[in-house]
Structure 1
Amino acid sequence: MRIDIEDLQVSYAGRTVVSGVHLMAADGETVGLVGPNGSGKSTVLRTVYRHLRPTAGRVLLAGSDIRELAPDRAARHVAALPQERGSDFELTVREVVAMGRTPYKRAFAGDDRADREIVLRSLAQVGMDGQAGRRFSALSGGERQRVLLARAFAQQPDVLVLDEPTNHLDIRHQVELLTLLRDIRRTTLIALHDLNAAASLCDRLHVLAGGAVVASGTPREVLTPELLSEVFGVRAAVTDHPLTGDPLIAFDHRAPAAEAGDRGQREAVASK
């Protein structure tokens, strides 16, 4: 299912934090939002899963304004893993994941056999099927992350909205999660700090800075040394990953950020 964001503007307490944002994710595409802290990535995603109402512009789901859909209907189409994640659920892992079935139920209806099968399958997808009876509050940060992702899968949405889903995950589970997202081929909007993960996973990237989209395209088109210097203030080289062929960013960890930014701007000017 296609997502279109048109001329989006969001303001808090009279201050505009996102303005003039246009971006899209085609059916089955994985689209990444990248940018420095405070660039507006999470704000944009919150409008997609209806946590925020835009000041102007709109979010279209298969051509329909998502704000005009009933909440339960919207929840059948869009599932989110936000950054604000509860850690005090006094529920079992199975019960937390079963919350993903709520949009399909009448009030006070219990789980049926199909619901239970979907919950177990969702837990298996994230490698937590052996933990169904544990208390959610007793889990580690990485385990909670995987359970909440399973809850999103149990919702069986057309669109996944994921805000930093690899936070708290060790390397193995990061790789497994990215592989899973690549394999399911569901329309996905994902914010990532890890630019190499974004280059490997995403079909398209939108780069945000100062609340606006400053670059869009494939990872190879977008992740250039010039952009990395100008937007992120780092000096880096971009090469091919020796195992996958994806763009691979090698950062110069010895160059101070200000020096890297100044040097990148000088190099960009000299190349014109």
Structure 2
Amino acid sequence: MRLALDDLHVALAGRDVVAGVHLVAESGEIAGLIGPNGSGKSTLLRAVYRHLAPRAGRVLLDGRDLTALPRAEAARNLAALPQERGEDFELTVRQMVGLGRLPHQRAFAADSAEDRAQTARALDRVGMGGHAERRFAELSGGERQRVLLARALAQQPEVLVLDEPTNHLDIRHQVELLALLRAQRATTLVALHDLNAAASVCDRLHVLAGGALVASGPPREVLTADLLAEVFGVRAAVTAHPLTGDPLIAFDHRTPPAA
């Protein structure tokens, strides 16, 4: 399923935080959203998963305006892993992930065999299959992150929208999650702070600065020393990763950024 942002404007407190963004994630593509803090990444994603209403512009799924779709239909097509999350302390892990099946159920219907199978499969995919009966409140931050990703996967969406999905994860689980994103077939729009992770997992990168899109393209074309200096204010060299050939950014941690 093709995801397109058409001249998207999103305002907070009367001020455009996202201004005139045009962006496309083709079917099955992983599109990365990068930029410094305050550049508008999370605000843009909130508009995509309908937490915020755009001031102008549209979010299109295969050419259909997302805001015109009934909520259940939209949820069957698009699942999100946002940064802001309810705690839901009383739920078990299985129950938490099972919430992802609600868009596929009729009102007040009990879980079907398919619902239970998809819930179990999603937990296995994130390495949490052995924790189904634990309370969500008992989990570490990284474990919660993986459970919430499983909830999104249980929706069986055509489109995934992920805001910093590697937060709280140790390095092994970061690698596993990024490999999972590469292996799954959903169109994905993901915001990442880790530029090397973005270079590794994303087919295309879109760079936000001051709420505007300033660069788009394959990682090796976008991630240049000049762009890193201009957008992020850092001194860096971009080389080829010795294991994968992906762009690898080496930052100068000794020289303070210029004011």
Q: Structure 1-normalised TM-score? A: 0.94
The letter for the 2-side match of 1:162 is L
Match of 1:190 in 2: 190
Q: Distance in 2 between matches of 1:87 and 1:193?
A: 24
Aligned equivalent of 1:141: 141
What does 1:96-135 align with in structure 2 at a 5 Å threshold? 96-135=96-135
What CA distance in whole angstroms lies between the structure 2 residues aligned with 1:87 and 1:226?
41
Bigger Rg, which one:
1
Partners of 1:161 and 1:8 lie apart in 2 by: 16
Q: Any gaps of 5 or more consecutive residues in structure 1? A: 260-272
SS in 2 for 1:242: coil
Alignment partner, residue 241 of structure 2:
241
Secondary structure, counterpart of 2:249 in structure 1: strand
| Residues in 2 aligned to 1:62 and 1:47: alpha-carbon distance in whole angstroms | 17
CA root-mean-square deviation: 0.8
Q: Return the alpha-carbon distance in structure 1 between the equivalents of residues 196 and 97 of structure 2.
A: 30
Structure 2: gaps spanning 5 or more residues: none
- Give the secondary-structure state (helix, strand or coil) at the position aligned to 1:127: coil
What's 1:150 paired with? 150
Distance of 2:117 and 2:104 partners within structure 1: 14
CA contact (8 A) 1:30 1:185 kept: no
Task: For residue 20 of structure 1, give the secondary structure of its aligned residue in structure 2.
Answer: strand
Structure 2 partner of 1:250: 250
Q: Higher helix share goes to which structure?
A: 1
Q: Distance in 2 between matches of 1:18 and 1:164?
A: 18
Q: Which residue of 1 aligns with 2:208?
A: 208
Percent identity reads 73
Residue identity matched to 1:78: L
1:209-265 residue CA offsets vs partner (Å, 9 max, x unmatched): 000000000000100000000000100000000000000000000010117xxxxxx
Alignment-mate amino acid for residue 82 of structure 1:
P
Q: Mark the CA change 1:112 to 1:88 in structure 2 (over 3 Å): closer, same or farther.
A: closer
Runs of 4+ in 1 over 4 A off after TM superposition: none
Aligned residue identity for 1:87: E
Aligned positions of 1:1-272 closer than 5 A? 1-258=1-258
- In structure 1, give the amino acid aligned to 2:19: S
SS in 1 for 2:258: helix
